[in-house]
Structure 1
């Protein structure tokens, strides 16, 4: 046994720390083998400790160090007071050894001459049956691995003795090795014990584990890792990088140093995929710290060389292999004891519902199968190439207007993603959306219903009713791409957003889907913001801090995507323009902002034709059609009185927000088309209201209608009533009542399309005589006016094309000037005099006068009459479209890089992993389930229970689980 043991106790200042310290000193006095000397090092003022009682005669000295110093630095202060023949026992203010702990540790060193360090079993100070740490190893790449931690102590690890290292708290270091085995201050309160074990092995010794020596520890002492996630990640990663540079062979140190930043980038990606965004910042901070702390690395390497007597191969057998690490982190499927509900997509009838919707969709839109491009309403072709498609989605030169440079509408990014799904012909992707709209809506509605009910029939009802929503069918018939895409996205937003507080995976998916939904319907931003704020307040009031942090992330990608446009519109003094509908703005016969129009909105229909019933059965019959939606509305209202009333009321709040958005939107005019103000389309607000009403109805049917026959009858009545509402809209294409048309591949004449290439974009001045006698001007760049090129900067009038309007007026006037040279200097190669459908007398007169005026101008060569109108080509040298300046290019790069970075982070967070799937399976899929509410499990063929009376199950939704690491 060592002749002497000198205990060094590190303490913090303060009354709480003093109480812990006195408890530790009492434990030292109670040792069967008492230490010969005890030195206390206080990291701060020690005045209060010196004035206290109970230290005289037992503590040989009190050292006062600077505040905030590390555990290793505090130990170094006391080392000069330790005699050469004394072993050192490393303790902290919150380490309370059991009475026989020191005896077992000294006995282990006496029995094993090769042992340089003896380490105890660390147990919880509050409950000594819980193992805090018992042995530490590391992986091949230097990752610290606890051999036993956070386990119930049943003696299962007491046979372990030879380990690579252990936690530094409670370590007893042999006197002969004390000078060489001092904690490394550069590690910064992390991995000091592991580092001592590695150096002991390299010195020809070893670390012995003494499970019989028990030391109680607290989680917030001077030698413990920080409790906050960010601080812990910073300390652990900084120590790991320091050890990597200290342990590496000398030729490899420069390579490791050069790899620090690329490795930080890669690990940031893995942190996001692993749902650990809090570790991204510490990862970069640790990498930068390791790069500048080369003197500390040099001192650590010198300390290792001075004591090294063995090769690094002596450590290899004690490392944790990759397979062992995988087994150690695999804790099963995660569904043991959890309230799990399976999807049962195929066995629950969802697959059949999707197939049926596919058949109905093909039947309703059969004509689309023969169309290469979808047109009519607000539909236009997409760009021919992916490069041009994504260029329209980025900050830069816009595809419309004269010298217009600025931010793209976020909806252009949605179209770019959609077009990228069919790279050969991006416009085909939009056509497929219409053909697959109904099955996609059923699929989305069914998945959203899985958050509300476990019953297979109600889930199918949810999918079908969502697909047959009047606002969705109206958008399909009228050719509104943004509204159609929004309706397809909303169920997925709901599916992920309601569980965004549970995990980073759900929060990442919800953030991306929310950004896409708001891009399709910016007018929903106030409603989304209000709902987000309500959820955030509830999370904070319930003490779910981590859940609140995840909820905060949900709107960040949306804010980043809209930030350039927000800056642009606010700078031009038109903040209301941010709510404008994206894409093509057409004057439509939608509901008006008067009492009658808002009354129609209250029934759930976004247009005054009541989803086609006005022309299908006459106005008298159409007035009674809203009664078909009464069963759905009544069920939704009953949800507030159901056992799951919290979920019911929340869904009704969603419905109220949707209706309020529709009521306000119909009276807001921020866009202009052909000189006419166009109000925001209220159908997007009704889609949000529809998801709230449908969710509430499912809650009521699931919980209030306890009898199976009543639930079945209510579901059939609701579903058939909504299906009856959809009959005119589903037959509109065949009856010629739809705005959908066989769209052209280009909105410009073929001659113009042939002249424009990806390298040289030709400008075409499109002049359109209107029926009120005015003239609409539009400058289109490239081979066609495209959907992705549309911008609210023009449609809302935020950018005044004064120069272009003056040139157009002068062109048709009697003014004597070189019109061809003026337009050519602006990069205009063609002039197209277009013709509107249903041209009136005033428009026809304007057309004739314009044709005569242009024909009389020199420099205009008439290319002839085309399907798009009369075309002229401008002779002479055409100026190229101005390229972006250096400042504009820098702005474009900064904006695109910032947006891509945030979107990439959200995308990585949303990627499911094995751990995230396991965590999701441990929770009830249904949100808001009451604790007393039974869980409906899937039926088996051998069940004897009647289908009308489900077997009760008392498994309820579990409390919020910690994030799986």
Structure 2
């Protein structure tokens, strides 16, 4: 025999309360007593309670009273049931929780089946979409993260229907025995809202009682407080902060001591990671909530100590019954991974609900099979993606073409210095104020050294691996980048595939690989991203502007000319769109101004030598450009030099782009693409006639811009080909000819590249320029002079005890030291020796090395020098040692303090730009019209989803 008292607590819940009260009063198992509590409502909730239950059955409390305090006050005033042998139950209900007519009967039936059942809860479904499951019991991780065991918006199809042994049920519909309530002292008054149900059920299980979820009992819950559909007044705290704080408090108050210690460590580290993710997602309020919640618990040890003392009895003995129901420890890593994935996908880094059911039984084989099936489908979907298949095809082409570059010793040749050193060596080189390499220099290390150091760190510190992937893998990487970045610009998938394949196999790309042009290789990967971001920048997107500025700084660090090209196009875009689209001008200013700030110290040095704007990362005294490049090559996007296919391979692309000019629709996109193409070709013509230092400049970078514009012009209207093919007749034949011409370009380029190979002058097995004898014979700071005779002149390099690192060739020594050293080298090579050898010795030169076959004049000049002694001579080179005393010049320290300040400023600015460029929060907050219910129990109001975006 049972006696049931229903307690409905209301707080500004009038828009749900009427339906809740109707549902309570129409239960198939009549209630013995009903009591309403109004916690200071201002919307007429108290009046609705009085109308339903009678004035004498309604209690009014202050607006700051919590749910637990309201129930405590009712039971304090309410005498126990007088019926003999009656089991008294208390049914707790929120004002936004409407139980099904048979809910109470189902709960009492389940209680009759298990004498140990002390707390029972119904299956909770969504108030609006009543097919959606909210809870079938709740568990929690050891870090306090709530876990329902349900997928987001999982529909109720009876898949969970049974009586579950759970850790906790919600106070929305909780049925609890009155004697157990009195034994446990009810809900904790220190938890006025959120997680009070978890704490009560935890204590009940520790005391030996059972907590059950009964799925035959159903209630519909609006979750108004947790979903912020009404303002909460309890302690004036934000709902998320209050929820997180109470979760930590419950965990730390109920765990045994050693489990508590582990939980503190886990929560401190986890909160730091989540705070960082919230900050990167530009959610400072959520980051503050995370920190404040943890600080509120740990900052009040007295409160926590009192709570643990109150729960001390039975904690150690009863904890095993709770531990088996907690979320498995491995789920914490999955939850953190989900947060990171959500952040990287551009959404808010929210906690995952997890897939671990809050039941006592182990996962069944069927569940494992479902997970494996899901993983298999995801795997098949990924492998079946056109972008992935295209990347695999380009990887296969690159492997065949680069077959002689995949194995061997050092990778080097062309503009690429043989790759030596590690990530730590590159970081040391970039951060030092004075560089002892060569003649010594106080100039800034080129910023691309820092980029390569960061990439090398991702490849376990192996610079050779990072450079190899970037240079040898630039073709598939450029194809993948072009396919992904043009998703919004070119929605027609076959056109995107063609665009990406053609772009990846441009003559510029194959020429960049053969010439060891790591700067151009990186730029080919970044250029489609520039195009994709630019379309959003002109629309006024701040986040896209910061992202464009950051990536433009990376590209300009390798190839300074790229900034000039983008700046000119940006200025044209500003004139065209700044007055039409709101915010476009400011976004363009951010995108173009950010690289100037990030590269400022080094960029100022480049501007002082305008010829360096035409150079790119790599050796400065190597020429691979063709000084006799004809206009037909430039018009057909061929930059000349090694590794470039015949000019006719690009004829198909030109023909398709010309055909696009004939279309009437989308003409603006075609014209803009052709405009970019003509701009790139004009710049390429100018660049091909200039010199970078004493070497002719390579027009590959502006031709890459030209090709990008041409590809966009040709691909944008490509979806109309499908209509032409469907029309039949002449139009169908014309469409097929266009398709054949389009795909002829990537197929011809791939075939030529595979047949001719990608090597030359780039090679695998490049020699270490430092002779072994010189390496063993030099002391710290002493150098080895490398002489390379060429066309009647002698080029030289000074090595300080090791092979040069990437970027050291860009250092500019002081003008007086460079002049003295150059004159001494000329005197030494001419056979005059004497004072010139003394000059070299005073600048730290211990050895003179001539790699390769040595001409007789240079050999006689070195052998006849009385202040030098030959150590070796063969067809592979010769080595001489300076016999006079060698002086190592002292390092300069004058610029260290200024350099250090700039580094700190640069690092702070980089962090700021990364935060501003990172994805912002996107939260879908339901907005409803809560009307009366229809006859079948579903609300007449319909939900309208609203997407709130945090501005970048």
CA distance in 1, matches of 2:558, 2:723: 34
Deviates more, 1:682-691 or 1:438-447: 438-447
Is contact 2:408–2:765 with CA below 8 Å preserved after alignment? no
CA distance in 2, matches of 1:607, 1:148: 58
SS of aligned partner of 1:482: helix
Is contact 1:237–1:283 with CA below 8 Å preserved after alignment? yes
SS of aligned partner of 1:682: helix
Is contact 1:765–1:832 with CA below 8 Å preserved after alignment? yes
CA distance in 2, matches of 1:881, 1:763: 14
1:7 corresponding residue in structure 2: 7
Deviates more, 1:194-203 or 1:208-217: 208-217
CA distance in 2, matches of 1:47, 1:961: 28
Q: 1:610 offset after TM fit, Å?
A: 12
Unmatched segments (≥5 aa) in structure 2: 82-88, 232-237, 332-354, 358-362, 537-546, 574-586, 828-834, 921-944
Cα RMSD after superposing both structures: 7.3
Q: 1:197 offset after TM fit, Å?
A: 1.5
Are the structure 2 counterparts of residues 906 and 584 from structure 1 closer, same or farther at C-alpha, using a change threshold of 3 Å? farther
2:37 corresponding residue in structure 1: 39
Are the structure 2 counterparts of residues 481 and 821 from structure 1 closer, same or farther at C-alpha, using a change threshold of 3 Å? same
Q: 1:667 offset after TM fit, Å?
A: 6.8
Q: 1:348 offset after TM fit, Å?
A: 8.4
Q: 1:583 offset after TM fit, Å?
A: 3.3
Residues 365-514 of structure 1 mapped to structure 2, 5 A cutoff:
374-376=412-414, 378-384=415-421, 387-389=424-426, 391-392=428-429, 398=435, 399=437, 402=440, 404=442, 408-410=446-448, 413-414=451-452, 417=455, 465-466=502-503, 468-476=505-513, 478-487=515-524
1:333 corresponding residue in structure 2: 374
1:607 corresponding residue in structure 2: 639
1:177 to 153, 171, 180: 180
CA distance in 2, matches of 1:433, 1:108: 65
Are the structure 2 counterparts of residues 678 and 84 from structure 1 closer, same or farther at C-alpha, using a change threshold of 3 Å? farther
Residues 479-878 of structure 1 mapped to structure 2, 5 A cutoff:
479-487=516-524, 520-521=558-559, 565-566=599-600, 569=603, 581-585=616-620, 603-605=635-637, 607=639, 629-634=653-658, 673-674=692-693, 681-686=701-706, 688-689=708-709, 692=712, 695-696=715-716, 704-706=724-726, 713-720=737-744, 745-746=767-768, 753-755=775-777, 760-762=780-782, 781-791=800-810, 794=811, 801=814, 804-805=817-818, 828-829=844-845, 875-878=885-888
Is contact 1:234–1:285 with CA below 8 Å preserved after alignment? yes
CA distance in 2, matches of 1:280, 1:458: 43
Are the structure 2 counterparts of residues 375 and 121 from structure 1 closer, same or farther at C-alpha, using a change threshold of 3 Å? closer
TM-score normalised according to structure 1 size: 0.62
Deviations 1:98-155 (A, max 9, x none): 4565566577668866443232332322244443223223568875432567444455
Are the structure 2 counterparts of residues 649 and 289 from structure 1 closer, same or farther at C-alpha, using a change threshold of 3 Å? farther
CA distance in 2, matches of 1:379, 1:259: 47
CA distance in 1, matches of 2:878, 2:713: 45
CA distance in 2, matches of 1:590, 1:674: 13
CA distance in 1, matches of 2:772, 2:303: 71
SS of aligned partner of 1:132: strand
1:20 to 16, 20, 43: 16
SS of aligned partner of 2:163: coil
Q: 1:299 offset after TM fit, Å?
A: 3.2
Q: Is 1:301 matched with 2:305?
A: no
Q: 1:441 offset after TM fit, Å?
A: 7.3
CA distance in 2, matches of 1:410, 1:589: 21
Q: 1:871 offset after TM fit, Å?
A: 8.8
1:191 corresponding residue in structure 2: 195
Is contact 2:434–2:891 with CA below 8 Å preserved after alignment? no
Are the structure 2 counterparts of residues 238 and 721 from structure 1 closer, same or farther at C-alpha, using a change threshold of 3 Å? same
Are the structure 2 counterparts of residues 701 and 433 from structure 1 closer, same or farther at C-alpha, using a change threshold of 3 Å? farther
Residues 74-473 of structure 1 mapped to structure 2, 5 A cutoff:
75=70, 78=73, 82-83=77-78, 85=80, 88-98=90-100, 101=103, 114-138=116-140, 144-146=146-148, 150-154=153-157, 157-160=160-163, 162-179=165-182, 180-184=184-188, 189-211=193-215, 213-221=217-225, 238-262=245-269, 288-305=295-312, 311-315=318-322, 318=325, 327=367, 330=371, 332-333=373-374, 343=384, 358-359=399-400, 374-376=412-414, 378-384=415-421, 387-389=424-426, 391-392=428-429, 398=435, 399=437, 402=440, 404=442, 408-410=446-448, 413-414=451-452, 417=455, 465-466=502-503, 468-473=505-510
CA distance in 2, matches of 1:515, 1:186: 53
Are the structure 2 counterparts of residues 894 and 357 from structure 1 closer, same or farther at C-alpha, using a change threshold of 3 Å? closer
State the aligned residue count.
834
CA distance in 1, matches of 2:225, 2:469: 62
Q: 1:280 offset after TM fit, Å?
A: 8.5
Is contact 1:220–1:226 with CA below 8 Å preserved after alignment? yes
Are the structure 2 counterparts of residues 432 and 470 from structure 1 closer, same or farther at C-alpha, using a change threshold of 3 Å? same
Are the structure 2 counterparts of residues 161 and 886 from structure 1 closer, same or farther at C-alpha, using a change threshold of 3 Å? same
SS of aligned partner of 1:116: strand
Is contact 1:761–1:881 with CA below 8 Å preserved after alignment? no
Is contact 1:442–1:464 with CA below 8 Å preserved after alignment? yes
Are the structure 2 counterparts of residues 21 and 387 from structure 1 closer, same or farther at C-alpha, using a change threshold of 3 Å? same
CA distance in 1, matches of 2:316, 2:476: 71
Is contact 2:512–2:520 with CA below 8 Å preserved after alignment? yes
Q: 1:380 offset after TM fit, Å?
A: 1.8
CA distance in 2, matches of 1:368, 1:302: 67
Q: 1:745 offset after TM fit, Å?
A: 3.3
Unmatched segments (≥5 aa) in structure 1: 500-508, 535-551, 617-621, 910-958
Q: 1:40 offset after TM fit, Å?
A: 1.4
